[in-house]
Structure 1
Amino acid sequence: MDSSRNKQHSKAVPDDDSAEKRRRVGRSPAADGGGAAAAGGGSIGVGGAAAESQQQHEGGGSSLSAGLTAPMQHPQQQQQQHPVWFVCAHRGSDFLLRDVLRLSKTCNWASGLFGAPQLRQLLSQWTTDNELGTQAGLRRTANGQQLVTFDQQQMGVGDLLAALCVTEAGGWSEMSEAIELAGQCGNCQLPVSITAADLHQHPNKTAYLADPRVLAQLKMVGRHIDFGDGVTFQLFQHGITVRAIKDQDGFEIDIIPPLPPNHPYQQHRQPHDPPVRSRIDYSHQGWQPPLFARNFSSVSSYVKRIVLDHFRGTHQINRTYRMIDRHVDNSRLHTLLTQSPHTPVEGCTTTTSYLGPIGRNRSLVLTDASHSFVAWIRIDRFVDVRVDVCTTEPAVSVGGAFKVRFPVTTQLARAVLRDIISAMIFDQ
């Protein structure tokens, strides 16, 4: 299996000074002077500043976009674009939001350069440029598929600034994997288009940056993951209590639950995508919280698990399974279960992991949006390890062994499980 299908964890988009591989453009002396002045007086670019954060806490702005509009009070747009704008946007620049805000705030001559049309063009560069989109996690690395975009034609200046803030903060790779899986399972259309209403899920930029990054992103895109009957992956905030999917008792989720120091999810905890504890589950009987809670390795893993559970409960799944000693083939299954849950698995598009009171689970997704079906390997450890290969691939024959009826799924699974374990599952 081509290793290019591996999960790629993108880092946040680097700051202006450290992005060696990003395309640069020259600025006029006046523009540089404006940037320097802003640096001395405080900026409300993506990195933020203490003064701006304090203003946000004190009630400045009622939404993520409102806190960014103040510097953009500028005169009527001229009919012709300024030459500086041509340099900044029309030559493939990655001109940053912080630069836009500095210029518009500190330079009178630049105050009319950045209206809605210009901001839309800046935002379009992130969603149409393969390099920038992949770097921000808005595109899939392997095939360049667009996973997240913005409904920018319906956004005003404030919302466009907020969208640029969210985009330049970067780090969408984990959430994009969850969105891609939801798209495969029929729960959303790809790419997901973030609207102004989605941006308004956060009261201001300070609140957006205060949440773990993947949780902040889920608050915006969760309602686009549609389970039918008016149920989405929406989050409901009640003080310190957060509910997911339904605003009812039993649907609470605990972000960053208390875990002992030796717990694997504590040892491998990622601050931007922390563990989650939840009792929410979906079965053939519908949304019914189980008797016990499960600990999920991360917010994104939790989203993917719920999407898979719902898919399993609403579709005809064909499967084959075996109970296998976890130490077979140099402890291959034991390694898959105990390695960091964030470690990519060769041949898989994504993975999801949880620990319950009676065992642990890791599911390895084999397919992507290019396939017409969904297939995954489910590994459960109790005393021995149970390995299920699950698929919705259309059978190519009425009878026969699993490997005969579902040849593509079998081929994908063999690449992940390797020869010894594959022979135990498919050839016995």
Structure 2
Amino acid sequence: MAAERTLPNLWHATAPAAPETRPLSSDITVDVAIIGGGFTGLSAALHLAEKGVTAAVAEAKMIGFGGSGRNVGLVNAGMWTKPEDLIATLGKEVGTRLLRELGDGPSLVYQLVEKHDMPCEAVRNGTLHLAVGPEGVKDIQDRERQWKTFGAPVEVLDANRATALTGAEGFAGALLDRRAGTIQPLAYARGLARAALAAGAQIYTDTPLRSATRAGDLWKLSAGNGTITAKSVIVATNAYGDMLSQTPWTSYTQELTILPYFQFATTPLSDNLARSILPERQGCWDTGLVMTSFRMDQQNRLIFGSVGRLDTLAEGTHRAFAERSLRKLFPALGDIRFEYWWDGRIGMTTNNLPQMHVMAPNVFSVSGYNGRGIAPGTVFGRALANHVTGEPAALPILETPVTPDPWRSMKSAFYHVGAQAKHFIDRRF
């Protein structure tokens, strides 16, 4: 895996300690091997262990190293794609099933949090999709109409109500989705890991996958300083699939365009300011061409995010944009000081929907959450656990072949450079 800059990540600073794990240093045999210790892999491990199925997670770095520890922390329902477009792409039967499963995704997340007593700042007061201008209002009105045909508790709010719920100036309205909420994402990932271990799963950290070979009906995975022999394998690395380069499944990473996303967190706000900004603690994102997001954490830090990577050349541009944006949205903030900043990767697919693959006999993967990792990762982890154990319930989506995107590198570079250029000029006046 390519080296990354070490940045001061708020979630790492405030999450409860991870459960004790260690690198794999021996040869083990389990029913299911899981590659990747994020939302999907840990959800799969937990649900398998609760069925009495032996499972081992091999994580190249630490629990939640990838997107699960860099997430905005919005527990959204559904996908970014509108319901009618999703059904047009997948067909009525599969599309309706996926909408139902992911529409109920936040409920599954919050049920697991409660069941396993996970300290992860879970708040379920909904999310706000904020409209930028008249076109944004049309967009959220269309989303409201489509989701209501599925009985979803969504509501378009006018500009005054949007201002009252956010404390922010300049939005033309908002779509309130009461199914959704916010969470401390790394704390949730660590909570899943702790619950999985308690149920009997094995988790090995600092254990990169080195190779995978087929021996009869079994897979033999060389990982860390040992081997895992298993009948089935779940590949759950998504946008952080660099570790697969030495395996037969390397093409898995070639279908994802990487969309970088950064976040800046302020120092804790005063009580007066904290009461005026997001008083009900909804998480927010907007309809802008280059999306931005903001939310509060439990310690009253205001967290602002947008598209872009915090490399040494781009960090200053994105930092200045974040400062200008917060001053424009919340003029009462005054002097803005950032205490934490970090970035991550979002795995985007060509149709903006997750892809489920059978990479080889008994090797299963799901990739491409397109910015919706928490609830879909939890849902698909459970679905894959059910699938590998022969549960009759249908998967939320159908299997498709891996289809590498020949433009992925160019698109990834465009997102990085384009966001930097836009943020250099945006909100200066």
TM range (shorter): under 0.3
Structure with the higher fraction of residues in strand conformation: 2
Pair member with larger Rg? 1
Q: Which has the higher contact order (CA 8 A, sep 6+)?
A: 2
**TM-score, normalising length from structure 1?**
0.22
